[in-house]
A and B are shown apart, each in its own frame.
Chain A
Amino acid sequence: MLQPPRRARRPFPWHIVVFLAPAVLIYTAVMIYPILASLWLSLQTQVEGGAERFAGLANYRRLLGSELYAQPLWNAVRNNLVFFAIHMLVQNPVGLLLAVLLSFRLRGAALYRTLLFTPTVLSVVIIGFAWKLILNPAWGVQRGLLEPLGLQALDQPWLGLPGSALPTLSLISVWQNIGIPMLLFLAALVRIPDELYEAARLDGAGGWRIFRSIQLPLILPTVGIVSVLTFVGNFNAFDLIYSVQGALAGPNFASDILGTLFYRTFFGYQLQSGDEYMGAAVAGVMLGIILTGLLLYLAAVQRRLTEVEL
């Protein structure tokens, strides 16, 4: 039996499909589909007591164009930027500092690392409640801690003043989440081989010089990742503000961010009934802001970062 020599065709790589399927299916069901459904919802409207109908961009026009919706929206965007700025200026630099200190293999480093990371694994509700108690003007430990130091002037109702509520909440969030950048930076620092440090020391470099010339350049990609995580996390934030200040994000919406604005619009609050269509539009704006930020980052920063092969 002579068969014409056939080029053996590679069989279709079913195993790839099989391996990818669970993740793709789950991700589609719990992420992609809800996002698309929510965007679709934001393009609908409903006349009182009537049926749902397609409204095009009318909800977005109302959200951005009428003072009633635009004023709270821009207030929330502004507050969100402040929230993000405080994280970038405090959480990430301090996280980096802690990581560098821990990378020196101090005595008890493991203990410090665990302690610093503990708030991150606690529930936001617990964190919010604990800080509400600490800062409580009636029986918080704040007064007892500040008075012996002669710092009575700092004993203010920080969560109740329009100027200080948002920075206070941002710092609580920083305190809680600082473990994440710390661990990511630490993981990057640990990967730097000892020879580099030894060579630097032989050349007479001090601690600062080692940080500037060896550590920082080698962990730059991690700095990028941490910034992106912070950005996405901050513009999606809701839980801490809700658990400390409630859905009204007081005083007078001074701590209102996009997440709380979305909650009030979508679900309603007390006598204000919810409006799912306008709420979905707020969610659409949040998605737009986050996507724009990510694209800017990818275009402007990510492409210039080069991973150094060690």
Chain B
Amino acid sequence: MNRTLIPLSLLLLAPLAGAQTTTLTIESWRNDDLKVWRDSIIPAFEKQNPDIRVVFSPSAPAEYNAVLDAKLKAGTAGDLITCRPFDKSLELFNAKRLSSLNGLAGLNNFDAVAKAAWSTDDGKTTFCIPMASVIHGFLYNKAAFKELGLSEPTTEAQFLAAMTKIKASGKYEPLVMGTKDQWESATMGYQNIGPTLWNGETGRKGLISGSAQYNKGGFLQAFQALERWKPFLPRGYQALAYPDAQNLFAQGRGAVYPAGSWDIGTFRQMNPKLELGAFAPYSISGKKCVIDDHPDIGLGINAASKNQAAARTFLTWVASDAFATLYANALPGFFPLANVKYTVTDPVAQEFLQWRAQCGKSFRSSYQILSRNANPNNENDLWNVSSQLLNGAMTPQAAGDLVQKNLASWYAPQKGK
């Protein structure tokens, strides 16, 4: 009896012995990153802050929003909350679930575009530390380009000429993307080459203020430019899903892959032998390139947490260069948003990063404010029309008109436009 009781009581007492250390729990949807957090990120922090223990406790991505809501309501959520960009986190802040981070020293390391995803509409209060963004562009198969004597295109004319040449060779699928899952058409297509045409932030903010429309100017031209991709998509692209496109390209059967930077890690894993290259969204009709540097993931503090001070210490560290370097290399393709110095070792990820200096910067046009309405939802509309456009079921003008009509149906600044 005693033999079992003694170890048992020791077990129960063990947490008390370490009572002076604070334990922080992180809520996250990135269960893919569990190993990276446990093995490299958290140990690095604990080494500098021996009195704080950190536990990374993710849930399944699709269930994260619902699980987090339930935990917050029940008062059982962790101290640190991983923040979705824009409206979902703003909703949490407005419901007083997230603490304001104003005054946190590390916040100075971020510019306004990076902070916009986790700030109130007036930009005065920020409630999550921007952790990483993803960048859009193109990945290409270096071996295929070499074989066909092609070089990285920088203008639309060069891009289309290269596509034609690859198609004529018959050996590779020129542009590897499917329209079955729909989101790639909008995310890797429209929002990839579009910002250049709508002048990045000028156009995006124009939509919000009501001075720009989806069926006019740059936003319409972006639909027209997207339509020019149609002849170069793989055979049967209407029924190709996202993993199909990834596999086609990873197997070396394709030449160019319209990408998000998060794909870099996937391709490195799927086929380490694939010679990966990258080029930025090409310029169209002489316009300077603008990249989609999309804020994707942030970290905030649960307003009900009892460990506010420790949590702020952790977030200050998340805003530092040490964290940036660690994170950028552990998860290539997720780029820290801080204006701090960090080096990325993956050459393709480096290439993506360089575009920040070469091109203008913006993010997906539909994410801030415009997707606040559940139905019709601006982002979901863009998925639908971009896919229909590539499937040949819709003209660029009809695509723009439909998105515009649905946006104007609820968004006051666009009413009657």
A residues near B (Cβ < 8 Å) are 68-69, 132, 135-139, 156-162, 245-246, 248, 250-252, 265, 268-275
Contact = CB atoms under 8 A, between A and B. Distances in A.
B393 interface: yes
Contact of B182 (A156, A159, A250, A268): A250
A260 to B, nearest CB: 14
A83 to B, nearest CB: 19
A302 to B, nearest CB: 40
Given A137-B239, A161-B238, A270 B179 contact: no
B88 to A, nearest CB: 8
8 contacts: A157-B238, A160-B178, A160-B237, A160-B238, A161-B239, A250-B180, A252-B387, A271-B371
B239 A157 contact: yes
Given A248-B383, A250-B182, A252-B388, A272 B238 contact: no
B166 to A, nearest CB: 17
B239 A135 contact: yes
Contacts of A274: 374
Contacts of A139: 247
Contact of A159 (B180, B183, B247, B384): B180
B380 A270 contact: yes
A248 B377 CA distance: 13
Residue in B234, B375, B387, B393 with the greatest tally of chain A CB atoms within 10 Å: B375
Contacts of B380: 248, 269-272
Residue in B183, B239, B240, B248 with the greatest tally of chain A CB atoms within 10 Å: B239
**Taking chain A's interface residues, is the majority helix, strand, or loop, or is none over half, making it mixed?**
loop
A161 B387 CA distance: 11
B391 interface: yes
B379 interface: yes
Nearest 3 A-B pairs (CB), nearest first? A137-B236, A160-B238, A160-B239
Contacts of B391: 160, 162, 251-252
B376 interface: yes
B375 A160 contact: no
A272 B379 CA distance: 8
Contact of B379 (A135, A156, A270): A270
A245 to B, nearest CB: 8
A250 B236 contact: no
A68 B238 contact: no
B409 interface: yes
B181 A275 contact: no
Interface string B241-282: 100100110000100000000000000000000000000000
Contacts of B253: 138
B188 to A, nearest CB: 15
Contact of A248 (B182, B239, B371): B182
A160 B179 contact: yes
Contacts of B87: 271
Contacts of B383: 248, 270
A268 B237 CA distance: 26
Given A162-B393, A252-B384, A270-B380, A137 B237 contact: yes
Contacts of A252: 384, 387-388, 391, 393
Given A138-B234, A138-B247, A251-B391, A270 B239 contact: no
Interface in B348-372: 366-367, 371
A114 B45 CA distance: 59
A167 B388 CA distance: 19
Residue in A136, A161, A250 with the greatest tally of chain B CB atoms within 10 Å: A250
Given A251-B387, A252-B384, A272-B380, A160 B236 contact: yes
B306 to A, nearest CB: 27
A265 to B, nearest CB: 8
Nearest to B370: A271
B230 interface: no
Given A160-B238, A246-B181, A251-B238, A275 B375 contact: yes
Nearest to B173: A138
Nearest to B373: A272
A246 B184 CA distance: 14
B297 to A, nearest CB: 16
